[in-house]
């Protein structure tokens, strides 16, 4: 597996980028220069390929301790396969940065220049000063998740294709056994279970967005303690109610705050929130409409994506919001592009305004989340998509999708039986996903595409 090291002066955002690539809050981040003094390592998935990411200590020789950290960082760079040299885009490049960058460049390894904290037009104009490094640079904002995909594409080009899983054919054969001769899932497969089970609905959000008030409004009782004190809810609070012939179990989780502000017992509550989501079907992501969206909202939203849950975005405290609804939704969609499938509803939990609209929306999302898609329609949609935009060839060789079939529920999982599954680029996979979404109404539900190898003999076709 290739290794990638992130290098730069203190406080340029290396640990934040490390966490972003790793998909988890592993490295401690703060505004204090020199927080990272050793190297953190984690395996990350860049689209469909893996890489070992290394977060290094800041390049600073102003003290004996920092000089040792810098020496270790530069030593680690010599053994890494790829280097990301990170700078602060709000400052002009320094002489030390130029000197270190050019010394790293002489190692002969692929190196990218990532200019962080590009948050506006003024920052973009200043970033052109980094042209003097003589290489293509990537203007990014880790906190806003801007420009990260372009940087990932650069990394992706140097990584080894993921090896085919040894049990892929066996797994696919097991799945196919669940389908009849017409290619449709056999009657009763998973459907009975999903049709009768209690629907688990986890309520997540940062502290003081009104999760407990929302739970109380949904179940019609003072089930959860509500106060202005941030972090009132520690233990998960669950309550069930009936709607449309189904049992809905709502779980109010502890509010999530910035890591540096988590105190005492709240650390245990944070871990329990993730465990609750592992056993949920639907997530209600609660946002405070009276305040601007922030990075913490984005990180919490990532939990729903991580566990592939059905999702509804709740804009609470809408009675206190002074913004236009359409404008607010456009900004939200732009920031949370990875949750484009989620419906949005504005409510006021304290006044119980529009709360009644949440119940049918939960049932709609759950229906899509556990839906059986017609195999014939799936293949028609895939064929139409390929006809409109053919699959790019890999090194002159054709990449073919022979057959598509749903192989799982909650959320819908579709196998793409192919001759070269590893050659299906993430961007084309995303294109197919969008086309399938256009063919099937799947509001609120993720859609998982799983390229699968047909057989060894087909590799030669």
Show binding-site residues for GTP: 8-15, 55-59, 116-119, 205-212, 252-256, 316-319
- Binding-site members are 8-15, 55-59, 116-119, 205-212, 252-256, 316-319
How far is Cα 300 from Cα 293, in angstroms, rounded to an integer?
12
């Amino acid at each position: 597996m290739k290794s990638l090291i992130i290098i730069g002066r203190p406080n340029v955002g290396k640990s934040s980028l490390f966490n972003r690539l790793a998909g988890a809050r592993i490295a401690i981040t703060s505004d204090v220069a020199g927080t990272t003094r050793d190297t953190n390592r984690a395996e990350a998935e860049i689209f469909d390929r893996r890489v070992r990411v290394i977060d290094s200590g800041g390049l600073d020789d102003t003290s004996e301790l920092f000089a040792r950290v810098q020496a270790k960082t530069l030593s680690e760079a010599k053994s890494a396969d790829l280097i990301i040299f990170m700078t602060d885009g709000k400052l002009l490049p320094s002489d030390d940065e130029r000197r270190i960058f050019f010394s790293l460049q002489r190692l002969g390894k692929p190196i990218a220049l990532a200019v962080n904290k590009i948050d506006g037009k003024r920052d973009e104009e200043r970033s052109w000063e980094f042209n003097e490094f003589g290489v293509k640079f990537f203007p990014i904002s880790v906190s806003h998740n801007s420009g990260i995909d372009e940087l990932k594409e650069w990394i992706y080009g140097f990584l080894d294709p993921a090896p085919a899983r040894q049990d892929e054919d066996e797994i696919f054969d097991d799945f196919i056994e669940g389908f009849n001769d017409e290619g449709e899932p056999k009657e009763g497969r998973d459907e009975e279970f999903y049709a009768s089970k209690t629907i688990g609905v986890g309520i997540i959000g940062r502290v003081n967005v009104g999760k407990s008030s929302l739970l109380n409004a949904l179940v019609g009782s003072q089930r959860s303690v509500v106060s202005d004190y941030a972090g009132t809810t520690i233990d998960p609070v669950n309550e069930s109610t009936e709607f449309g012939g189904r049992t809905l179990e709502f779980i109010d989780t502890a509010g999530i705050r910035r890591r540096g502000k988590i105190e005492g017992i709240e650390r245990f509550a944070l871990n329990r929130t993730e465990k609750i989501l592992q056993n949920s079907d639907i997530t209600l992501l609660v946002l405070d409409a009276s305040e601007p969206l922030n990075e913490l909202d984005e990180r919490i939203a990532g939990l729903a994506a991580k566990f592939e849950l059905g999702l509804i975005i709740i804009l609470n405290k809408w009675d206190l919001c002074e913004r236009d609804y359409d404008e607010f939704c456009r900004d939200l969609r732009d920031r949370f592009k990875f949750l484009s499938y989620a419906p949005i509803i504005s409510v006021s939990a304290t006044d119980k305004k529009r709360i009644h609209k949440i119940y049918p929306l939960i049932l709609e999302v759950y229906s899509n989340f556990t839906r059986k898609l017609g195999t014939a329609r799936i293949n028609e949609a895939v064929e139409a998509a390929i006809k409109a935009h053919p699959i790019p060839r890999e090194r002159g060789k054709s990449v073919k999708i022979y057959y598509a079939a749903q192989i799982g529920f909650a959320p819908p999982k579709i196998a793409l039986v192919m001759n070269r599954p590893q050659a299906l680029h993430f961007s084309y996979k995303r294109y197919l996903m969008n086309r399938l979404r256009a063919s099937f109404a799947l509001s609120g539900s993720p859609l998982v595409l799983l390229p699968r190898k047909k057989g060894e003999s087909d590799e030669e076709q």
